[in-house]
Amino acid sequence: MDKLCVNGPTQLKGEVHISKAKNAYLPLMAATLLATDKVTFTEVPGLRDIRTMHRLLEHHGVEIKEEGEGVFTYDCQKLKSEEAPYELVKTMRASICVLGPLLARFKKAKVSLPGGCAIGTRPIDLHLKNLEKMGAKIEIEGGYVIATTEGLKGTKLALDFPSVGATENLMMAACLAEGETIIENAALEPEITDLGNFLVKLGAKIEGLDTKTIKIQGVSSLGGTTYSAIGDRIEAATYIIAGLMTKSEMTVKGFDPIHIDAVIEKLAEMEAKMEIGHDYVKVFPSELVGTDIDTAPYPGFPTDVQAQILALSTQAKGLSIITEHIFENRFMHVPELQRMGAGITIKGNSAIVKGGKPLKGAPVMCTDLRASAALVLAGLCAEGVTEVRRIYHLDRGYEKLDKKFAGLSAPVERVQGD
């Protein structure tokens, strides 16, 4: 398994260009199952999760062609299977978002239950009970969701929790349902709006994007289009925090800073010096102070940036209390950071960080995508070499991370593992 060797402490220089968002492209690709004409996506990031989604779509019979660097076409004329097999779904729980489109288009779907993952059990009850309200018959058999319908019917749905994945599945199902579907308490993440904009370009009738109430009038079929996803706000936040951790002057470009408003607010509270542009954030060397952070659904502080800002808070003066409200087990980066000398105590779903203790390089282990990013960030400001192992977790969501850091003059080297 490959590893990253980070030789700290270091500073970053110059500009990094952010890739298009993994968490936008995964539902967008699932939505191609609804399209009766060709779909073209551009600037698709080279990520493990994207390759997994391509394998899943090809299993369903989608013809995928690479037309050039990051340009892919998807042809869903000849779909052959409504089954999403365990072997594929178990490696990426986001595969569950093929359930809605398969059911809407083919009136049946057999999708493996995703199972839990490192950060939590991650149930899909909100997806299933609302698809039932739309007229789906749902059975769980042998670890699979088996869904059938005579035809989905639009109705009023109210999500108990603004689940991103449930909102996406229900939006896609509603596009081809009969009549009007109203989704109350819909998730507000920018990736939801991106999916809605794409579906509208395919011919869907959707109102209320960017609000908690999304209204969809079902249509008989959807066409094709060319589309490019929004910039990856989580990747952007990761590099902004890397710049602040290393007291660097550098620029993160190619995303909409409004999409991480809550992160920018918290960094400002920590006295970070930043220049906010329309598609970039520039950071300057800053003496940071600790603050309190509570993760929440959008527009609150994103859980996907919790590990990274926790690593940053180890370098801030004073105390920070970081509380995780979204997932039940999302502090696996903490023991690894403690091994590097960080002063962190876990109390329930809060991490209490005593900032200002210098970090020492050490061999550390990745456990999940964002925890892995936090370890790389810590290595950038730690004294000595940090060996970040099992970086296949990073490859899921950070395109060319070693090359992007090399472009920022940071000594981050990828070493072929055994």
Phi, psi of 252 (to 5 degrees): -115, 120
69 contacts: CB under 8 Å, gap ≥ 6: none
User: Whose CB is nearest to ligand EPZ?
Assistant: 165
Strand arrangement, sheet containing 39-41: 63-68, 71-75, 39-41, 225-227
Tell me the sheet residues that pair with 346: 351
Beta strand pairing call for 63-68 and 83-84: unpaired
CB of 170 to ligand EPZ, least distance (A): 11
Q: Are 353 and 324 in contact (CB under 8 A)?
A: no
136 contacts ligand EPZ (rule: CB under 6 A): no
DSSP per-residue letters across 17-38: EPPBPHHHHHHHHHHGGGBSS-
- 369 sits near ligand EPZ (criterion: CB under 6 A): yes
CB of 149 or CB of 295, closer to ligand EPZ? 295
> Contact between 61 and ligand EPZ (CB under 6 A)?
no
Question: Between residue 307 and residue 336, which ones bind ligand EPZ under the rule CB under 6 A?
Answer: 326-327
Question: What is the identity of the amino acid at 319?
Answer: L
Pick the closer one to ligand EPZ by CB: 382 or 388.
Answer: 388
Is position 236 an interface residue for ligand EPZ (rule: CB under 6 A)?
no
Q: How far is the CB of 221 from ligand EPZ (least distance, A)?
A: 26
Q: Which is nearer to ligand EPZ, 162 or 355 (CB)?
A: 162
| Strand, helix or coil for residue 43 | coil
In angstroms, give the least distance from the CB of 319 to ligand EPZ: 26
Answer yes or no whether residue 190 interacts with ligand EPZ by CB under 6 A: no
Which of 19, 62, 5, 3 has its CA nearest to residue 255? Answer: 19
Quick one: which of 88, 98, 99 has its CA closest to 48?
88
Minimum distance between the CB of residue 152 and ligand EPZ, rounded to whole angstroms?
18
Site for ligand EPZ in 68-127 (CB under 6 A): 94, 120, 122-127
Of 20, 105, 370, 414, the residue at the interface with ligand EPZ (CB under 6 A) is 370
Reading the block at residue 224, the tokens are 């094709």
User: Which residues lie closer than 8 Å to 173 by C-beta, 6 or more apart?
Assistant: 100, 101, 103, 104, 131, 134, 136, 152, 181
> What is the full DSSP assignment across 125-170?
HHHHHHHHHTTEEEEEETTEEEEEES--B--EEE-SS--HHHHHHH
Query: Considering beta carbons, is residue 108 or 325 the nearer one to ligand EPZ?
Result: 325
Contact mark string toward ligand EPZ, 392..411, x via CB under 6 A? -----x--------------
Q: Based on the residue annotation, tell me whether 97 is a catalytic residue of this protein.
A: no
* Residue of 5, 76, 97, 117 marked active site: 117
Q: Which of 26, 33, 270, 305 lies at the binding interface for ligand EPZ (CB under 6 A)?
A: 26
- In the three-class reduction of DSSP (H, G, I as helix; E, B as strand; rest coil), residue 117 is classed as strand
Q: Which is nearer to ligand EPZ, 82 or 191 (CB)?
A: 191
**Helix and strand tally (H, E) in the chain?**
14, 24
State which of positions 144-183 bind ligand EPZ (CB under 6 A).
161, 163-166
> Residue 233, interface with ligand EPZ (CB under 6 A)?
no
Q: How far is the CB of 190 from ligand EPZ (least distance, A)?
A: 11
Nearer to ligand EPZ, 77 or 121 (CB): 121
Cα–Cα dist 163/253, whole Å = 28
Among 218, 204, 201, 175, residue whose Cα is nearest residue 39: 201
The rounded distance, in Å, linking the Cα atoms of 217 and 224 is 18
Smallest distance from the beta carbon of 336 to ligand EPZ, in angstroms?
17
Size of the residue set binding ligand EPZ (CB under 6 A): 22
For residues 382 and 360, the answer to whether their CB atoms sit within 8 Å is yes
CB of 258 to ligand EPZ, least distance (A): 17
CB of 378 to ligand EPZ, least distance (A): 18
Residue 372 binding ligand EPZ, by CB under 6 A: no
Is residue 23 a contact point for ligand EPZ (CB under 6 A)?
yes
Residue closer to ligand EPZ (CB basis): 125 or 265: 125
Per rule CB under 6 A, is residue 300 in the interface with ligand EPZ? Answer: no
Residues with a catalytic annotation lie at 117
Residues that bind ligand EPZ in the complex, under the rule CB under 6 A:
23, 26, 94, 120, 122-127, 161, 163-166, 303-304, 326-327, 369-370, 397
